[in-house]
Amino acid sequence: MRALSEIIELERTRNYLRPGDVSTAVALWKDYVHQTERALWHDYECGNVHSYCCGDPLEARALLDTVMQALSPRGARELRKIVNRSDAVWGLPA
């Protein structure tokens, strides 16, 4: 997977990334979109009380957009394929 080597390099060289940030963001976004509608509604009304300790899934998704822009077209396509699966659950257009 070409994207993985590019992501490792980005996490090593970019000041806005630390090692493991991208995989954490993918997992956080995936877990968030697979929550029940009731849990998502509670987050919408009251705020995500776990975002301070566990990360904000919406910020994680924004980070993934930033990383996809920094990757080569091929690497971005590979990462986008993974992210699009969760986006489809959430209802975002591909």
Evaluate the CA torsion angle 9, 29, 57, 27 in order and state its sign: negative
What pLDDT, on a 0 to 100 scale, did the predictor assign at position 2? 75
- Per-10-residue mean pLDDT, the chain, length 94: 87 94 95 77 61 78 96 95 90 65
User: Cβ-count burial of 3 within 10 angstroms (0-12 exposed, 13-18 middle, 19+ buried)?
Assistant: buried
- Domain of residue 40, residue span: 2-90
**pTM to 2 decimal places:** 0.82
What pLDDT, on a 0 to 100 scale, did the predictor assign at position 71? 95
Overall number of domains in the chain: 1
